[in-house]
């Protein structure tokens, strides 16, 4: 007899996590073109990279008509009360409403209920769900108690989720979820999960590793069925994460451990066609994935540095062309190096829009280097510290003066001793 699984009602603008194989939240590897690539190859949902609440607060939402994207930007103040007018804005988060909007989960780094709500309100109308990061073990995430640091403060984590459910889920009609790691013992994990599913969330993702574990260590799935059972009794969807290789593997694990969904990270970073089933032809060659990725990156005018980083993840290290990617400083050079002649015209256009010189890279970087070099030369040519120079001149002048002999300074020199400063054996008079 099969036990009927209770379901929390799916919000009108939210998503059901059940039966889904999804892209994990990954810093750098989860930016917009990577998410579009995963959806292209069949991902059911995509998580954005962790974005810290304080970074979002104060941003301005802008529509980029040329790329059909929406971005949240802010100017770097560098400690100043008012940012300079000529300071370029930084993109904190961006998305493609048409291609990913209803399949995009915004993941937030937070350790404060009020800040979490304030940040979520800025993006909630554009995404399908808000996810709280309570699993990332990296220093940039756990400082100030965020990420996996929240596993040590379960009451605070619950208060954050409750605040988001009350203020965001109700107003924007989207789901709130959380991503955690397993704890050292099943009893600790059980106690935590029971608290979390009582907050009103619609989904819980469990990474089957403890906080100290690293990706090279195999996932531990012994607690997975227990977590899934607790979620099901509360009507919350349970998604598993950790060493999921592809869609077929994810579906197999979902059946084996009773979870509702599976999340892919590392394998999707290397080749997003892992979201295809074997029945659909399975994974495609990395060269095809690279070409598709570059098309998406240029379509949304992705920051070139991030594009090159992702290419080094997709292109196998043993491939002859791998080493040739590192010196490339532009989309044009990337396409030339990879032999993508059909994309060259588009690459030149994107380089121009991004202010990138095909040979030397971003023009602003070149200008900054030239300006720094010029300023350095000007400092060299000037006397920046007249006082120090004057003091130095006086010392030099003093050194040029004839020094008095030891005897003239009231020091008696033993007979036969050479008058060498600092070495003479002296007898006080």
Q: N- to C-terminal Cα distance for the chain?
A: 112
Q: What is the token pair recorded at 411?
A: 């020091």
CA-closest candidate to residue 91, choices 107, 109, 76: 76
CA gap 255, 249 in Å, rounded: 10
Q: Which residue has the tokens 């540095």?
A: 305
Which helix (DSSP H) or strand (DSSP E) does residue 351 occupy? Answer: helix 344-354
Helix, coil or strand: residue 10:
coil
Q: Would you say 275 and 38 are in contact if contact means Cβ atoms under 8 Å apart?
A: yes
CA-closest candidate to residue 64, choices 41, 93, 29, 27: 93
Altogether, the residues listed in the chain come to a count of: 429
DSSP annotation string for 303-353: -HHHHHHHHHHHS-TTSTTHHHHTT--SHHHHHHHHT-GGGHHHHHHHHHH
The vertex-86 CA angle with 83 and 90, nearest 5°, equals 65
Helix, coil or strand: residue 179:
strand
Which of these is catalytic: 136, 208, 231, 328?
A: 136
CA gap 155, 199 in Å, rounded: 11
**What b/e readout covers 331-365, taking b as 16+ CB neighbours within 10 angstroms?**
bbbbbbebebeebeebbbebbeebebebeebbeee
Q: Tell me, what DSSP letter sits at residue 130? A: E
Q: Is 231 a catalytic residue?
A: no
Q: Tell me, what DSSP letter sits at residue 143? A: G
Catalytic residues: 136
């Amino acid at each position: 007899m099969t036990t009927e699984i209770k379901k929390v009602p799916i919000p009108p603008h939210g998503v059901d996590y059940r039966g889904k194989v999804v892209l994990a939240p990954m810093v750098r590897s989860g930016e917009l073109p990577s998410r579009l690539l995963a959806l292209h190859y069949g991902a059911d949902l995509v998580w954005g990279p962790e974005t810290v609440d304080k970074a979002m607060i104060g941003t301005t939402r802008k529509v980029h008509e040329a790329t059909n994207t929406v971005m949240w930007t802010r100017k770097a103040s560098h400690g100043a009360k008012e940012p300079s007018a000529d300071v370029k804005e930084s993109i904190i988060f961006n998305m493609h409403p048409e291609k990913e909007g209803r399949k995009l989960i915004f993941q937030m780094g937070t350790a404060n209920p009020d800040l979490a709500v304030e940040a979520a309100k800025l993006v909630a109308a554009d995404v399908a769900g808000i996810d709280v990061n309570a699993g990332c073990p990296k220093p940039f995430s756990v400082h100030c108690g965020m990420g996996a640091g929240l596993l040590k403060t379960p009451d605070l984590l619950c208060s954050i989720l409750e605040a988001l459910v009350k203020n965001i889920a109700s107003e924007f009609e989207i789901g709130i979820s959380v991503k955690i790691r397993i704890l050292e013992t099943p009893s600790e994990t059980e106690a935590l999960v029971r608290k979390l599913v009582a907050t009103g969330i619609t989904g819980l993702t469990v990474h089957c590793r403890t906080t100290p574990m690293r990706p090279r260590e195999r996932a531990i799935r012994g607690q997975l069925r227990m977590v899934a059972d607790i979620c099901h009794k509360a009507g919350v969807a349970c998604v598993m994460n950790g060493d999921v290789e592809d869609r077929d593997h994810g579906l197999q694990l979902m059946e084996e451990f009773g979870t509702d969904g599976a999340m892919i990270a590392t394998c999707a970073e290397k080749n997003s066609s892992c979201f295809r089933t074997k029945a659909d032809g399975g994974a495609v060659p990395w060269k095809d994935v690279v070409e598709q990725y570059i098309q998406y990156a240029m379509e949304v005018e992705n920051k070139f540095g991030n594009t090159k980083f992702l290419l080094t993840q997709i292109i196998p290290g043993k491939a002859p062309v791998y080493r040739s990617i590192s010196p490339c400083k532009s989309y044009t050079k990337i396409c030339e190096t990879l032999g993508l002649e059909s994309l060259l015209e588009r690459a030149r256009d994107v380089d121009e829009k991004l202010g990138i010189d095909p040979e030397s890279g971003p023009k602003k970087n070149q200008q900054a280097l030239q300006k720094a070099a010029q300023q350095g030369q000007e400092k060299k040519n000037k006397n920046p510290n007249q006082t120090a120079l004057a003091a130095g001149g006086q010392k030099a002048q003093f050194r040029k003066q004839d020094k008095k002999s030891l005897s003239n300074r009231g020091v008696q020199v033993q007979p036969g001793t050479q008058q060498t400063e600092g070495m003479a054996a002296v007898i006080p008079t």
